[in-house]
Amino acid sequence: MSAVTTPSADALAQLTPVLTKRWLSPEAWRLEVYETLDGYAALRKALAAHPDDLIQLVKDSGLRGRGGAGFPAGMKWGFIPQEPDGQQPSKPHYLVVNADEGEPGTCKDLPLMMTDPHSLIEGIIIASYAIRAHQAFIYVRGEAVHAARRLRHAVAEARRAGYLGRNILDSGFDLDVVVHSGAGAYICGEETALLDSLEGFRGQPRLRPPFPATHGLYASPTVVNNVETIATVPYIVLGGSQWFRSMGTEKSPGPKIFSVSGRVNNPGQYECALGTTLRQLIELAGGMQDGHRLRFWTPGGSSTPLLTDEHLDVPMDFEGMMAAGTLLGTTAVQVFSDADCPVYAAYRWMEFYHHESCGKCTPCREGNYWMKQVLWRILTGRGTHEDLDTLLDACDNLLGRAFCALGDGAAAPVMSSIQYFKQDYLDYIEGRTAPMFAPDPEAEALVGAYR
Amino acid sequence: MSTDVFGAHVYERAREIVSRYPEGRERSALLPLLHLVQAEQGHVSPAGSAFCAEVLGLTRAQVAAVATFYTMYKRRPTGDWLISVCTNTMCGVLGGDRTFEALREHLGVGHDETTEDGTFTLEHAECLAACDYGPVLTVNYEYFDRVQADEALRIVAALRAGERPPPSRGARLCTLREMSMQLAGYADEREGALADGPPGEPTLAGARLAQQHGISVPGFDPDTPIKEPAPAEPGHVPPPTAPEPAADRKPAGEPPAKDKRKAR
């Protein structure tokens, strides 16, 4: 086995064990254990405060959405129209938790729900109280039955203990939570597609405006937040916004769970301050595996443009990643080495987007279908120089021309791999690299193409 | 017509599922209802679609439009064991591609196909959100971590011999129909199944490293008031150290109960 390197003091200083700390306690998923570890202390504190003060607290903390887009959570909560105190709103408000984790590379929410489901439920109660919602839903990815199982148990425990249901802890506040399993569709991670799916339809994104804050679930005011965002809230309620801002950078404050996978010695979940660099993350993950040198990586899943070994020291916060021409996304750091082929990577991801495109927008439905075939043609040794132009042309027609971010995401790996690794493409096209896959002699070069 | 296929107990469960959702919003129950009919029949049959349509007052076409959109609803009978191999990029380079090929050759079926004896259905899956454990496969949606082709063939051999190899995380294996009941929102009734599967090392890697080096985030005071006073002057940036103790500030409401159990 390869030698595991010890991280430097500089890298260790980036660790911020906040959300992940309780994961070390065996059976923290049980209510009785959770309660011995400060569980539901934040809820008691929050229920004694005015809901508007909680919204202000989350605004002051600078917490930004952890599901990829980085929208300020407090602002999202503040968009929910509120009646004066004591008056019932004409339409009910809803909180919907996006637990449809599926962005390639992302694997932070499932372990959180497995090891510490009550932290999510506590966050849900606080957030619902703040936005005056009395019904919340957790939309869990269908395949993640192991996490849904623990969540359903935690909801039942919380209800028995009086943390959910009517008149929670004698506060007069009522809330019910339903754990709703999806059925295998990546697009349902997009918030408006998720809402359509939760309403019992095909998961297809909606045109915005109107935004979910006024016309969300059942055309009612709705906040949709990622699991990690909501699970962060109890810590802000306890520690305050200034403490929260002691981590991370000014515009991207707080801790963040970085999911490191691939050619490192110890892949896993590393909770670090936003602004941590890839160099530090690789150190924390025990260094690169023997015989592997970093070649390319995703900062936040396959929908964020690839970076290379030139970007080892770029701070991984929302601003730093944008400045480097990519996005922070879900901080799903997939580390690939010189043993891995960027053309293959683009092809596999394009297969993914082709499979997961909901079919609503033509550029995404058709563009991914063609790009997947063109990439296959290149990998089977039949590519042409024109193919590179075709790919970039298809990306140009896709980027910014679809209802939702899936289309933009699909263009990311193709455009960035051609930007940084054009030579790899040319080596296949000009025959210097042997085909990765044998062509199927039965199949046409491109199904349905002119030639 | 679907009463011939689905007994009274299925109607009873369907009513329970529908009652989880707000009044007038019954259609939200469609996804769990499709999981329910799949639990009964092993796939979503025309009768299953008709059942959902009848319960929700939809047309069969409306139900079919939804059922065909989602990967987990199977339109043909599935095997006892659904083997899903992740072949997205990361698992693919780490060994998932070879595993899928080995299983395809061994089982003699391709993607979304079932062996003749009805034991196994093979599929290649998109990212299963377990990249730190890659390459992964799932059997009836329970995870087997860091599985290479030889290990995958051993899992298949064990299943064929009537054994139930323990997954790396999550609960012990159950049939796909039992799993579909959980997807429909029912608790796992098996004694001890909930506690199965301690977290693996990748899940704990960062937290463990922090613990080993005695690292924690300083300045955490759980009594910090929720309503913080405005900074002394505009543009004032608080020092990145511990906030002031709460003594000089009024809490926004009642202080949290010291004895957490008392209120229960």
Residue at B10 is within a domain: yes
Res A262: pLDDT? 98
The chain A residue lying nearest B82, using CA atoms, is A143
Residue A33, number of CB atoms within 10 A of its CB: 16
User: Which tens digit of pLDDT belongs to each residue from B43-102?
Assistant: 999 999 999 999 999 999 999 999 999 999 999 999 999 999 999 999 999 999 999 999
pTM over 0.90: yes
Residue B22 is assigned to a structural domain of this protein: yes
B260 pLDDT exceeds 50? Answer: no
B170 and B107, same domain (yes or no):
yes
CA distance A213 to A227: 18
Chain A partners of B203 at a C-beta cutoff of 8 Å? 23, 111, 114-115, 268-269
Among B129, B188, B217, the residue with its CB nearest the CB of A141 is B129
> Is residue B128 assigned to a domain?
yes
Residue range B111-140: average pLDDT? 96
**Local structure of residue A288 (DSSP, 8 states):** B
| Binding-face residues of B in 6-65 toward A, CB within 8 A | 20-22, 25, 27-32, 34-35, 56, 65
- The answer, yes or no, to whether residue A14 has pLDDT greater than 50, is yes
Q: What is the pLDDT of residues B163-206, one digit of tens each?
A: 999 999 889 999 999 999 999 999 998 989 999 988 999 999 99
B169 in the same domain as B85 = yes
B253 confidence band (pLDDT: 50, 70, 90)? very low
Say if residue B105 is in the same domain as residue B168.
Answer: yes
Residues B112 and B169 in one domain: yes
Residues of chain B with Cβ-Cβ distance to A68 below 8 Å are: none
Pair B94, B166 in one domain: yes
Digit-coded pLDDT (tens) for A138-147: 999 999 999 9
Residue of A nearest to B261 (CA): A35
Q: What is the mean pLDDT of chain A?
A: 96
Residue A220 distance to chain B (closest CA, Å) = 12
Eight-class DSSP state of A101: -
Residues of chain B with C-beta less than 8 angstroms from the C-beta of A162: 263-264
Pairing verdict, β A294-298 and A307-308 = antiparallel
**Residue B171 is part of which domain span?**
81-175
Q: How many residues does chain B have?
A: 264
Which of B127, B153, B175 terminates a domain? The answer is B175
Q: How far apart are CA B2 and CA A282, in angstroms?
A: 57
Interchain pair A17, B216: CB under 8 A: yes
Confidence band, pLDDT 50/70/90 cuts, at residue B257: very low
Which residue in A198, A271, A348 is closest to B89 by CB distance?
Answer: A348
Most A CBs within 10 A among B137, B217, B227, hence the mutation to make, goes to B217
Q: Which of residues 163-222 of B touch A (CB under 8 A)?
A: 169-171, 179, 182-185, 187-188, 193-195, 197-199, 201-211, 213, 215-222
CA distance B160 to chain A (A): 23
B122 and B60, same structural domain? no
For residue A165, pLDDT over 80 is answered with yes
User: Does residue A423 surpass a pLDDT of 80?
Assistant: yes
Q: What is the DSSP letter of A64?
A: B
In a domain, B62, yes or no: yes
> How big is chain A, counted in residues?
451
When divided into structural domains, chain B yields a total of 2
Mapped onto helix, strand or coil, the DSSP state of residue A412 is helix
At residue B262, the pLDDT reads 39
Query: Measured between CA atoms, how close is B241 to chain A, in angstroms?
Result: 7
Nearest by CB: B227 against A53, A201, A336 = A53
pLDDT tens string A35-72: 999 999 999 999 999 999 999 999 999 999 999 999 99
What number of C-beta contacts closer than 8 Å exist between A and B?
Answer: 327
Three-state DSSP state, A105: coil
Pick from A44, A107, A302: which is nearest to B132 by CB? Answer: A107
Q: Per-residue pLDDT for A321 more than 70?
A: yes
Residue B73 domain-assigned (yes or no): no
**For residue B243, what pLDDT is reported?**
44
Does A35 sit within 8 Å of B72, measured CB to CB?
Answer: no
**Segment A20-35 mean pLDDT:** 96
Q: Per the domain annotation, does B236 fall within a domain? A: no
Q: Do A48 and B252 touch (CB under 8 A)?
A: yes
Residue A442 is predicted with a pLDDT of 62
Which pLDDT score, from 0 to 100, does residue A450 have?
A: 56
The reply to whether B92 and B160 lie within a common domain is: yes
List pLDDT tens digits, range B18-56.
Answer: 999 999 999 999 999 999 999 999 999 999 999 999 999
Question: Would the CB atoms of A344 and B93 count as touching at under 8 Å?
Answer: yes
What CATH number is associated with residue B10? 1.10.10
Nearest to B131 by CA among B141, B142, B145: B145
Could you tell me if residue B44 is inside a domain?
yes
Best interface-test mutation with A: which of B17, B69, B194 has the largest number of A CBs within 10 A?
Answer: B69
**Per-residue pLDDT, B242:** 44
Are B55 and B102 found together in one domain?
Answer: no
- Left (φ > 0), alpha (ψ -120 to 50) or beta: where does B57 sit? left
Backbone φ and ψ for A431, nearest 5 degrees, come out as 85, 10
Q: What is the pLDDT of residues A168-206, one digit of tens each?
A: 999 999 999 999 999 999 999 999 999 999 999 999 999
How many angstroms separate the CA of residue A127 from the nearest CA in chain B?
14
- Distance separating alpha carbons of residues A42 and A50, to the nearest angstrom: 14
Both B30 and B54 in one domain: the answer is yes
Q: What is the pLDDT of residue B247?
A: 43
Pair B94, B36 in one domain: no
Q: Measured between CB atoms, which of B87, B134, B226 is closest to A57?
A: B226
Read out DSSP for A312-353? Answer: TTS--SHHHHHHTTS--TT-EEEEEETTS-HHHHHHHHHHHH
Nearest CA in chain B to A44: B256
Q: What is the pLDDT of residue A102?
A: 95
Residue A284: both structure tokens together: 């924390």
Mean pLDDT of A332-340: 98
B175, B192, B223 - which closes a domain: B175
Instruction: Tell me chain B's radius of gyration from C-alpha atoms.
Output: 25
Going across the sheet that includes A307-308, the strands are A268-273, A255-262, A332-337, A294-298, A307-308
Measured between CB atoms, which of A24, A101, A153 is closest to B211?
A: A24
Cβ burial of A350 (10 Å; 0-12, 13-18, 19+) is: buried
Placement of tokens 């909930």 in the chain: B194
* pLDDT one-digit tens code per residue, A234-291: 999 999 999 999 999 999 999 999 999 999 999 999 999 999 999 999 999 999 999 9
Q: Is A96 helix (H, G, I), strand (E, B) or coil?
A: strand
Residue A134 has pLDDT above 60, yes or no: yes
Reported as a single tens digit per residue, the pLDDT across A98-128 is 999 999 999 999 999 999 999 999 999 999 9
pLDDT at residue A303 greater than cutoff 70: yes
User: Taking residues A403-424, what's their average pLDDT?
Assistant: 96
Does residue B182 belong to any structural domain of this protein? no
A85 pLDDT tier (thresholds 50, 70, 90): confident
- Contact between B53 and B63 under an 8 Å Cβ cutoff? The reply is yes
Asked whether residue B53 falls in the same domain as residue B135, the answer is no
Q: Tell me, what amino acid is at A141?
A: R
CATH of the domain at B170: 3.40.30.10
Contact call for A23 and B226, based on CB within 8 A: no
- The complex scores an ipTM of 0.95
Q: What order of strands is seen across the sheet that includes strand A133-140?
A: A176-181, A133-140, A93-99, A222-226
- The 3-state DSSP class for residue B149 equals helix
Name the domain boundary from B123, B144, B175. Answer: B175
Average pLDDT over residues A294-318: 97
Q: Which of A135, A240, A261 sits opposite B22 (nearest CB)?
A: A135
Who among B65, B131, B141 is closest to A105 (CB)? Answer: B131
Is residue B254 over pLDDT 80? Answer: no
- What are the tokens at B107? 């089982």
Helix residue spans in B68-187 (DSSP H): 89-91, 97-107, 149-160, 176-183
Strands (E), A170-273: 176-181, 222-226, 255-262, 268-273
Which chain B residues are Cβ-neighbours of A169 within 8 angstroms?
263
Query: Are residues B169 and B104 located together in one domain of the fold?
Result: yes
Q: Name every chain B residue with its beta carbon within 8 A of the beta carbon of A60.
A: 228
